[in-house]
Structure 1
Amino acid sequence: MYLESYLNSIPLHQKSSIKEVSKSFIDKLKKTDPKQKTRNTLLLGNVQSGKTGKVLGLVSSLADENYKFFIYLTTDSVDLQRQTFERVKNSLQEFSVLSENDIHNFDSLFRLNSPLIVVLKKNSRILKKWRDTLSSKSYLNGYQLIIIDDEADAASLNTKTNSNKGISTINSLLADIKNTCNQSIFIEVTATPQAILLQNNNSDWYPEFIQYFEPGDGYISGNFVFTEPESFITHFINEESENAKDESSEIPEGLNQALKSFIVTCADFYLSSQNNCNFIVHPSVRISDHQAFADKIIEHLNAMAFALNDGIDLSSEFLPIWKDLKKTKPDINHFEDIYQTVVTILENQFIKINILNSKAETTFDISKHYNIIIGGNVISRGLTIPKLQTVYYSRTSKAPNADTFWQHSRIFGYDRERSLLRLFIPNDIYKFFVELNIANNLLIKQSYDKNQEKIQIIYPSKIQPTRKNVLDDKSLRLLAGGKNYFSDNPDQKNLNQVNLLMDDLDDFPQENKDLYQIESEFMISILEALGTYSKWDWDVSKFISCINAIKSKRPSLKYYLLVKNNRKISKGTGTMLSPNDRKIGDTKSNDIILTIYQVTGDIESNWDGNPFWLPNIKFPTNMIFWDVDS
């Protein structure tokens, strides 16, 4: 009943996806233990992909399953909480909907037959007030509470995991709210789940299952923006922060090209009666840089306006920009019309400059007019930028966190005119985002797997998956590429199992008499045949899950098996590979190589007296596999 009512209020093309996601989520929920005090789940989406609409569909489906009480958590933003409250109120018209200041109406509305949903921001004062109120309602012991935590990886996790200072305030308050009812279902919603998936499996925040929801038709994602070779939208620029801060210098060339591309796009929009178009400038995290870039842009806009007032023709500066945009939008307005509109835009100062950061946040409306938004961290989570057509991005970091930087991808979304979309970015930063996109696709692919406990998070060594203060150092397990892993305590009864597979080696090409290029499935078969090992010694299950994960990340990856017989090696030597075999492994630094020695197993070498297979494995260099001890 509630789902059907909600579906009647949304566009037809969204209905089937919402029904499918809701059904799949509830089916998975029914397979969890209903007697648990708290069940954590994860809703995985994409940046700016319309997660809220699907979440409200799920809330409606859960109401049809007779869940009555819901809390919807937003990030600690007054505007976002208000926006979410209005969205929930307008979309769930058969629900009782409370905002964070409506606490006085809770008792009377809860007693009604309709389901109740409260929209709160993750603010310690607000959460404490509601925790204390809910804890005092003894009648809630008879109910189950559904908590929807939007951007759950951002502020909800314990930021004091590795310190002796207890639990962070927001995390502690949310834990208390979970316990205000008889049972709770905690739904973590995010497009960047790295911090959540790297929680200890015994954590009160680790999800029991993952539900991915596809974006809708027309969504512009990383697979369009961050490609190899680069998409047509990409224009590579130099690092320009220092030039922008030099008051005596002219506007940096990359910024100049981005600005003019935006102006021409605005002109085309203007001629098509579209009164909204936006441009993001994300130079760095430093607030001083935001002001420097704003000053350079304002100065350049004024200089062009003054030149036009003096009768100077600037058409030659805009013609190459128009030609570039025409390559991807052949029906763009004629240049003469575009240029006259550019003149109108500049002379009448139609373009608004807005600095958006912790010290200059304002309430300007970017859904109207032609706007340039300059900032850093604030241009990230929760900020939906409509009609975003031009992006200038030059932010760098020595140790970037993948989840933080992926949230900077405000270029993703639905209402962009694809043919006029342009991204101005340094080449090395672009390649960094290509890596993030590959890793993001891998996460999504693994979310479909039935055995979701084996999810691998894979990044180049220079990239951290998330901030370290929310991860338990004692449970974090890293497998580093380029390192040889061999067993100190191998299974000494694996001879026959591995020998059964040796005849199949004739099916694979040889680089020399001992080195074979094999298939990934055959490598997994060898690993499984090698027997039983302690995960702290030689973690076969992790190696296999890494191989399965990396197949999607690097389809061109090669798999090698190096086989040596009749080797005499003493137990506990701390090494295994001969110098020559180590060199062979070094030549395969971009691939996976598994080396197996048939060891004689002599008693005088501290073995059990029988031959067996001793393994060593090495993964591609400059790659790290992250997961947690289960």
Structure 2
Amino acid sequence: MQNDYSDKAFEECSAWLEKKYKNKKKGYSLEKLEMAGKQNDEELNKFLENRVDEDDWPEFSVDEWKEFVNYYYTLWENSKSCIIPSEPSIAGVSDRTVPKGVQTAWQKYKNHLLEDDGFSLPAVMNIEKSVLDTLNFLNDDTQEDGNAVKGLIVGNVQSGKTANMAGLISMAADYGWNLFIILTGTIENLRIQTRERFKRDLKNGNVTWTFLEKPGSKTNDTKLSDLDLNDNRIRYVICCLKNISRLRALHKWLNSDANKKRNLRILIIDDEADQASINTGDINDEKKRTAINQCIRNIVNNTDESEKSKLSANEKDTIQVPYKAMNYVCYTATPYGNFLNEAGMETLYPKDFISVLNPPDLYFGPEQIFGSTNGLPVLNVISGQYNTSETDGPDGDIAQLEDLCAAPSENLPESLKQAIAWFCDAVAIQRVWEYKKPVTMLVHHSMRTEKHLGLGISIRDWLNHIDTEAFLSICREVYVSQTAQLTKDIFKSCWPDYGCYSGVDIERDIKDYPAFDTLITHLKDLKQDISHIEMDCEGALIFKKGIHICIDNCKNDEIIDGEPDYSSHVRLIYPERDSDYDGFAPAFLVIGGNTLSRGLTLEGLVCTYFSREVKQADSLMQMARWFGFRKGYELLPRIWLTKMAQRQFEFLTRLDKELRKDLYKYQGVTTPTECGPLILQTPSAIRMLLTSKNKSQSVVDAMMDFSGANLQTFNFINDKRLLEQQLEVADSFIKKLPDCSFKKDGTRIVWENVSFDVIWSQLLKYIQWPFSQTMNIRDFKNWYDAIDDAHKMKDWDVVLAGKKSDNAHQWNGVGKISRTRKISGMNTADSQNICIGALSDPSEWHADLKDWSDSRRLSDEEKMEIRKQYGKDMVPLIVIYCIDKDSQPTKKMSQVRQPLHAEADIIGISIHIPGQRLNKDYCVRVRINIDDNSY
């Protein structure tokens, strides 16, 4: 892409193009858009020339126009959000459009993102699309039926949810909402951080923003009656802590003036909605309902159901007065509790809509780190594990860390020394690059505050007492190993489409590592002055060139050696502006627990040391502060974690992917009140619950539905006897099959109309490999046995697939395929466990179609339609591969893949099941119990 199409010079032509793209009646395809509806290039060129003269469009050649169209078409297609149901049920509010005036709150905010915050145009368009979709589900007048709109937006950890919230508030302000309440978690410093973020992001224009601090409290005498709701320019914002006293004060304040209340158009944003907002009391006993949940319900539902609300008589009368509009929108990256806690009109269950945000193309998410294909090789192992029984204690590095927490010493485990050394290397690299913003390392070992101090003292003492030459030596050693672990070429191989919609060129834009010798001066600076953030006599913060050790927990008045020192600031606080320090990237090594688990953004995070034991999936995902955006220092992030934590994150990555995939299936089919989302149950092997039991009180087992599934084996045990046994089973199965239906190109043999009973009894029941971390083939058989005869798929197609090959590399007449080891974290070249990441070929879906050879990338719906044309839309498909034990990575992939080095050839199995989900109650996934009479 040669032009910057986000430039304002292209606004008129992009608006014209967008109007055509959204014209569903005329059905403008990509090809038709490229031709602007004209018949040939000559007519198109004339059209473009006329637009330059008549509408001041920039000059386009025919090829440039087609490039421009492709750019925007790709953006719009990738900005499509998933929202359930597909259309709002509220009459007359689904046709809102994006506010266009330059002084509107939305356009002011949009320009702020592009010009001040450096957001890419694709990222902003993504926000715009999802915000508009959400806005069209909100109701600006709920007085008639009194039913608040309730929805849930599923984002990703550190993926820009706050930017989306500010966008929704801005656009809603343009459409007349006048009071915005942001519920900001349970920690005051995070509430303040959120408030300041919104003060910075919401820009005055056609509307003026007024922030109200703790309304109804003793420290704020602003009355509801003081609000000027007749001035169409004024918008009020409240950032409220999820705290019982503050929520009760807010509730009283909202009911202090009946006349004003009638004119309140309220939008409540519940940030981190799975924290504190959920009822963890007995859902069957209203008297035992969690107080915070009850407070929020009282505000949203306009009720007074708490015995402790202490409303006055006048305020109790005002409860009968409806708000002009009430809309409650939750945001979270971990919605398991929201989906599994309780349903019903009076609850906070998202009865009206569930929306899934698309992560931007610059987002370093779980898929890029723990995904099944080529995860970025940024993981390093912390040895040892926590006690697995009442008698066994922790071992390895974990045991050593526990000792440091109890009795501080300089005896750090090697993994922690290496992590600190890499952090210092990364800060030095940033300073060589003349990067000016803060750089951070996170040490997350325990939620217990007393352990943070011991660990902080130990790290400080090691840095202070290690000889400079020894320190430089370990920094050099770690630098060599880590820079070899992730090179620019490896990054490109693992993530070739990084920033592809944001104009990022990996070769041009990603900075490579400098020579180690250029770091030495900066490394000495870092080691020379280890301190807290210091204050001068006037209380101003002083940032030095050394490492600032911060302990961020609720005991913010305690310094690292346990003695009062009022000249130090121990908790994490970043400089407000570059002028607060003298032109270098300040370094922060942060030790903490719960304050680092929710909401807090760690700036310039390049190193994470995560040794904490976590027993709940939602908590673990929220602790992944290393997810986010790393533009400008893409090669620097590194993570140290235990093998158990890696296994847990790998499962969570799959859980998250499956949940989102399932939500997309709901779109246009059902509503949140008809069928709760299915969530994978956590396997016992990873010692973790989905969420706390009191957050999932309405959970019921649901069928582990395989309809529409694509299952494949990709983890194998490198045991010669076992591998040879699987080869014998597959060989015997193939030889017992009747004559094949057809062969093709030496790459496949196809047998049609094979009974599932034969496939099961002669092949699948003997397969030792799991089809995922959470499911083996027995789970599939249980599902198959449980479905009724009308849905049973008795006759299958069987394919032996491979590649063209000489006779020496064939197995049963088809060439063996090549698959190599995925290397990341505990997936090492010499491990007994072989992980190949992915088995199936992209063309596998049509392996049993005799003459299909089109190589286009098609959607699942298009693939199903083609199979239907061949009479195969309801025919399940099983594909067998023989993987060559001597498989070698290609030259291009040699840096991220290792030779297979298997003891024998490996049999891989892939299964494609047609159809849509069948709503039956059976095993291994869970969903919420929705009473048909509750809505």
**Partner residue of 1:126?**
246
Q: Does 1:439 align with 2:655?
A: yes
Question: Which stretch shows the higher mean deviation, 430-439 or 293-302?
Answer: 293-302
Change in CA separation of 1:107 and 1:86 when aligned onto 2, cut-off 3 Å: farther
* Equivalent position to 1:507, from 728, 733, 753: 753
Residues 19/329 of structure 1: CA separation in 2 closer, same or farther (3 Å cut)? same
What is the TM-score of this pair, normalised by structure 1?
0.74
Contact persistence 1:237–1:254 (CA under 8 A):
yes
Alignment equivalent of 1:254, drawn from 403, 412, 415: 415
Residue 352 of structure 1 corresponds to 548
Q: Which amino acid aligns with 1:401?
A: Q
CA contact (8 A) 1:592 1:618 kept: no
Structure 2 CA distance, aligned partners of 1:98 and 1:513?
66
Aligned equivalent of 1:540:
none
Root mean square deviation, CA, Å? 3.9
Q: How do residues 6-155 of structure 1 correspond to structure 2 at under 5 angstroms?
A: 6-11=109-114, 13=121, 14-29=123-138, 35=145, 37-92=147-202, 93=204, 94-101=207-214, 104=222, 106-111=224-229, 112-114=231-233, 115-139=235-259, 140-155=261-276
Give the C-alpha shift of residue 425 in structure 1.
1.0
CA distance in 1, matches of 2:759, 2:781: 18
> For the structure 1 residues 121 and 618, does the alpha-carbon distance in structure 2 shift closer, same or farther, using more than 3 Å as the test?
closer
Q: Is the 2:224–2:254 contact (alpha carbons within 8 Å) kept by the matching residues of 1?
A: no
Q: Secondary structure at the match of 2:690?
A: coil
Q: Which amino acid aligns with 1:241?
A: I
State the SS of the aligned residue for 1:155: coil
Conserved? CA contact 1:162–1:469, under 8 Å: no
Contact 1:593 1:617 in 2 (8 A): no
2:436 matches 1:277: no
Letter in 2 for 1:25: T
Give yes or no for contact 1:37–1:183 (8 Å, CA) kept in 2: no
Give, in whole Å, the separation in 1 of the partners of 2:759 and 2:604. Answer: 61
Match of 2:607 in 1: 390
Change (3 A) 1:466 1:7: same
2:693 to 465, 468, 473: 468
Q: Does 1:374 align with 2:591?
A: yes
1:414 aligns with 2:629: yes
Contact kept, 8 Å, 2:472 with 2:523, in 1: the verdict is no
Match of 1:286 among 426, 440, 448: 448
Compute the displacement of 1:130 (Å).
1.7
1:161 aligns with 2:282: yes
- Displacement of 1:434 in angstroms is 0.9
Cα gap change, 1:318/1:91 in structure 2, threshold over 3 Å: closer, same or farther? closer
- Residue 158 of structure 1 aligns to a residue in which SS? coil
Give the C-alpha shift of residue 347 in structure 1: 2.1
**Structure 1: distance between partners of 2:125 and 2:627:** 22
Separation in structure 2 between the aligned mates of residue 524 and residue 353 of structure 1, nearest angstrom = 54
Post-superposition offset of 1:429 = 1.3
Deviations 1:200-222 (A, max 9, x none): 33251111211122233422111
AA matched with 1:410: R
Q: Which of residues 378, 392, 395 in structure 2 aligns to 1:233?
A: 378
Q: Which residue of 1 aligns with 2:107?
A: 4
Larger displacement relative to structure 2 (359-368 or 121-130): 359-368
- Summarize deviations over 1:572-603 as a string: whole Å, max 9, x none: xxxxxxxxxxxxxxxxxx99999xxxxxxxxx
SS of equivalent to 1:418: coil
Q: Structure 1's 290 and 40: CA in aligned 2 closer, same or farther, altered over 3 A?
A: same
SS at match of 1:420: coil
Q: CA deviation at 1:458?
A: 0.4
Aligned positions, number: 527
1:148 aligns to what SS in structure 2?
A: strand
Distance 1:591 1:618 in 2: 23
Q: In the alignment, which residue of structure 1 is the partner of 2:618?
A: 403
Question: Which residue of 2 is the match for residue 296 of structure 1?
Answer: 458
CA distance in 2, matches of 1:22, 1:404: 27
- CA 1:402–1:280: 2 relative to 1, 3 Å: same
From the superposition, tell whether residues 39 and 525 of structure 1 become closer, same or farther in structure 2 (CA, over 3 Å).
farther
TM normalised by structure 2 equals 0.51
Cα offset, 1:319, TM superposition: 2.1
Deviations 1:368-399 (A, max 9, x none): 721111122221111110100000111114xx
Instruction: Assess if the C-alpha contact under 8 Å between 2:186 and 2:241 holds in 1.
Output: yes
- Is 2:331 the partner of 1:189? yes
Q: Distance in 2 between matches of 1:525 and 1:67?
A: 51
Q: CA deviation at 1:158?
A: 1.6
State the match for 2:929 in structure 1: 628
Consecutive unaligned residues of structure 1, counting only runs of 5 or more, are 483-504, 533-552, 562-589, 595-615
Quick check: 1:262–1:389 contact (8 Å CA) kept in 2? yes
Q: Does the residue aligned with 1:154 lie in a helix, a strand or coil?
A: coil
Note the 1:522-533 alignment, pairs <5 A.
Answer: 530=789
- Paired position in structure 2 for 1:338: 519
Consecutive unaligned residues of structure 2, counting only runs of 5 or more, are 1-103, 115-119, 215-219, 303-318, 385-396, 489-511, 531-545, 558-569, 576-584, 706-750, 765-776, 792-836, 841-874, 878-908, 914-919
For the structure 1 residues 142 and 104, does the alpha-carbon distance in structure 2 shift closer, same or farther, using more than 3 Å as the test? closer
Q: Secondary structure at the match of 1:16?
A: helix
**Cα distance in structure 1, aligned partners of 2:223 and 2:127:** 31
Q: Aligned partner of 2:604: which letter?
A: K
C-alpha displacement at 1:162, in angstroms? 4.7
Which among 426, 433, 448 is matched to residue 664 of structure 2? Answer: 448
Check the 8 A contact 2:342/2:349 in 1, yes or no: yes
Equivalent residue, structure 1, for 2:365:
221
Deviation at 1:227, TM superposition (A): 3.1
Question: Post-superposition shift, 1:163?
Answer: 7.3
- Displacement of 1:153 in angstroms is 1.2
Give the aligned partner of residue 478 of structure 1: 701
Shift of 1:254: 0.8
Q: Which residue of structure 1 lines up, in the alignment, with residue 22 of structure 2?
A: none
Distance 1:78 1:201, change over 3 A: closer
Give the direction of change, closer, same or farther, for the CA distance of 1:30–1:174 in structure 2 (3 Å limit): closer
Partners of 1:512 and 1:437 lie apart in 2 by 35
Residue 593 to residue 442, structure 1, CA distance change in 2 (3 Å): closer
